Amino acid sequence: MGDMPADLYIPPDALEVFLESFEGPLDLLLYLIRRQNLDILSIPIAEITRQYMAYIEVMQALRLELAGEYLVMAALLAEIKSRMLLPRPAGSAEDDEEDPRLALIRQLQEYERFKTAAERIDDIPRLERDVFHAHAARDALAAPPAPAPALDDLIEALVGVLRRASLSAHHQISAEALSVRERMTRILETLEHREFVDFVSLLVVSEGRPGVVVAFLAVLELSKGGMLEWGQGEAFGPIQVRRRMAEVVES
């Protein structure tokens, strides 16, 4: 793996954003199986292991700390893969008990049942999330609307804010080969006159791994700041990105 710039800033919540779809290694494995419409009872362990390890390498490339359970699962998959590659003794019976995948399959089946049940429970309307108590005081409904502020009041408030801002203003000069802030600006300029852009096209492969990481972090920061919208036309389909409509109007 190539080295990252020593001064490259990685937001502390980047791991949370990247892992928001997965609750653990079993959830990641189940996602990989569902994405390819595979039979959970006959997992192609070599291919699943390859994809799982590719995910681990991405996390390590971003220098983000992985939970220990992800590494334990990686070791388990490697062990199962190696056991399946061992030649069987001549004349040995091939039964389910000898299948090294069996314990993992049972764990995945049990996890899938719990996950499905949790999703069904989450679909039940919940107070203060889907439905809300109506609170309307009779006097409040009858009260006249507050008057609009005078122009002088608005100007005075603006002057006060500008005065406080000038007290805390400072200048900082930093030299860095790759800037997340600059990449955020370039991404917004790219999206300014286009409806949707493929998320992958924003990660500039020609700049190498550091450039891809910087572009990835820039997209995360823009999304966190509410300046980007995400879309996916179909399950496991390409991820499309565009500037949030309000952002387009303001610009």
Residue 170 burial (C-beta neighbours within 10 Å; 0-12, 13-18, 19+):
exposed
Considering only residues 245 and 229, tell me which one the structure prediction assigns the higher pLDDT.
229
**pLDDT above 50 (res 48):** yes
- The model's pTM: 0.47
Closest CA to 185 of 225, 154, 146: 225
Q: Is the sign of the CA dihedral 248, 249, 250, 251 positive or negative?
A: positive
pLDDT at 35: 86
More confident residue, 110 or 17: 110
Contact of 15 with 65, CB cutoff 8 Å: yes
- Mean pLDDT for 234-238 is 62
Q: What is the pLDDT of residue 55?
A: 82
Residue 99 tokens read as 């299948």
Q: What is the pLDDT of residue 216?
A: 78
| Cβ–Cβ under 8 Å, residues 228 and 244 | yes
In the chain, where the domains are located: 14-86+97-121, 179-251
How far apart CA 120 and CA 126 sit, in angstroms, is 12
pLDDT, mean of residues 162-173: 50
Sequence letter at residue 145: P
Question: SS in 3 state form for the chain?
Answer: CCCCCCCCCCCCCHHHHHCCCCCCHHHHHHHHHHHCCCCHHHCCHHHHHHHHHHHHHHHHHCCCCCCHHHHHHHHHHHHHHHHHHCCCCCCCCCCHHHCCCHHHHHHHHHHHHHHHHHHHHHHCCCECCCECCCCCCHHHHHCCCCCCCCHHHHHHHHHHHHHHHHHCCCCCCCCCCCCHHHHHHHHHHHHCCCCCEEHHHHCCHHHHHHHHHHHHHHHHHHHHCCCEEEEECCCCCCEEEEECHHHHHHC
- What's the mean pLDDT when you consider all of the chain? 72
Task: Specify the higher pLDDT residue, 162 or 231.
Answer: 231
- Per CATH, the number for 179-251 is 1.10.10.580
- Is the pLDDT at 67 greater than 90, yes or no? no
